[in-house]
Amino acid sequence: MSGAGVIELPLPTKTNSMKKTLQLLTALSVVAFFSCGGDEGGGGGTDPEPSGIDIPSSGFTSPSTRDGMTLLFEDNFDGNSLDAGTWTHETGTGNNGWGNFELQSYTPDNTTLQDGHLIITAKEQQSGGAAYTSSRIISQDKFEFRYGRVDIRAALPEGKGMWPALWMLGANFNTVGWPQCGEIDIMEKVGGAGLENEIHGTVHWQAETAYANFGGSTDLSTNTNQQFHVYSVQWDSDQIRWFVDDVQYHVLDPSPCHLDEFRLPLILILNVAVGGTWPGDPNASTTFPQHMIVDYVRVFQEN
């Protein structure tokens, strides 16, 4: 979900996690129909799965060290399998489409590693009653942190109905639920005509008796699909700041007492959703498979 300014709404339903939105918007999500080869229904068809994914060769790279900060965590996605000491797959269709009426079923099968990159693939594929499949990985009970800077270098999927997200959720989610646990969206994108280079960063929390969010967005001059960008959040007790390629575009003061969710540890989540009330259904222009390619995840903390 998301928005700009503080928007108070009836408390939405959330499941074993949640996802996404932005500036002046609140994001939930929707529903589409499966089509074999795109002859009928929502999507524009599924292209043959290549033996290897084309990984962009250009784009921004952030520094591997930062002044006054220590590297707390790094995953470069080397090797042949996801680091089980850091990541767990969340699977299935969730409750009400992961709280957003999303259309995909999450499965570990859509996560691969290639040449030091994590690849999450969204496919037009029937599974568990869903018309699409994708993957979602989470660091719950394995890695959490309180305050720091997160840098994630990624190339994003494109097309109407695509909803990639790099985000953080309160580590106490399983105890207090959402939005009471707090959520910081490092990067969200909803695909479609005129939207492919627009990036959103948002926080979600419980404001007294109602759900609230505050978000910002920026338009990039270069393609988010064909080259890498680095999506970042720097979070401390005084500020939460959002960056793309080390350029700040949004900021929040989390010091008021009603934002105490953001003084507690958070976990990391990476996923690609399909459909939902924010991006809407895939349409005839949407091609599958689509890929989110992540080069690295780094977490720094101040010395």
Task: Please check whether residue 215 lies inside any domain of the structure.
Answer: yes
pLDDT tens-digit readout, 117-146: 999 999 999 999 999 999 999 999 999 999
Please, are residues 34 and 41 in contact by the beta-carbon 8 Å criterion? yes
Q: Give every CB contact of residue 164 below 8 A, 6+ residues apart in sequence.
A: 120, 154, 156, 157, 187, 188, 189, 271, 272, 273, 292
CA 108 vs CA 35, 113, 119: distances in Å: 22, 12, 11
Task: Please check whether residue 198 lies inside any domain of the structure.
Answer: yes
Sign of the dihedral defined by the CA atoms of residues 108, 29, 292, 184, in that order: negative
Task: From the candidates 90, 158, 188, 198, give the one annotated as an active-site residue.
Answer: 188
Chain position carrying tokens 């499941």: 15
The predicted pLDDT at position 51 comes to 54
Task: Please check whether residue 300 lies inside any domain of the structure.
Answer: no
Give the confidence band of 14 by pLDDT, cuts at 50, 70, 90.
very low
The span from the CA of 223 to the CA of 226, in Å, is: 6
Short-list 167, 217, 215, 216, CA closest to 197: 217
Please, are residues 208 and 9 in contact by the beta-carbon 8 Å criterion? no
Range of the domain at 95: 69-293
How many separate domains does the chain show? Answer: 1
The predicted pLDDT at position 209 comes to 85
The span from the CA of 244 to the CA of 75, in Å, is: 19
- Whether pLDDT at 221 is above 50: yes
- Whether pLDDT at 50 is above 80: no
- What is the three-class DSSP state of 257? helix
Whether the bond into 179 is cis, omega within 30 of 0:
yes
Phi then psi for 109, rounded to 5 degrees? -60, -20
The span from the CA of 74 to the CA of 293, in Å, is: 16
Other CB atoms within 10 Å distance of the CB of residue 6: 12
DSSP 17: B
| Mean pLDDT of the 34-54 span | 50
The predicted pLDDT at position 25 comes to 36
State percent of the chain over pLDDT 90.
81
pTM reported for the whole predicted model: 0.85
Task: Please check whether residue 30 lies inside any domain of the structure.
Answer: no
Task: From the candidates 144, 158, 183, 261, give the one annotated as an active-site residue.
Answer: 183
Give the confidence band of 237 by pLDDT, cuts at 50, 70, 90.
very high
Q: Give every CB contact of residue 71 below 8 A, 6+ residues apart in sequence.
A: 64, 65, 298, 299, 300
Task: Please check whether residue 1 lies inside any domain of the structure.
Answer: no
The span from the CA of 33 to the CA of 102, in Å, is: 12
Short-list 46, 24, 11, 32, CA closest to 289: 46
Task: Please check whether residue 195 lies inside any domain of the structure.
Answer: yes
Is 188 tagged catalytic? yes
Task: Please check whether residue 3 lies inside any domain of the structure.
Answer: no
- Whether pLDDT at 18 is above 90: no
The mean pLDDT of the chain is 87
- Whether pLDDT at 238 is above 80: yes
Task: Please check whether residue 301 lies inside any domain of the structure.
Answer: no
Is 183 tagged catalytic? yes
Check which CATH number belongs to the domain holding 156 and give it: 2.60.120.200
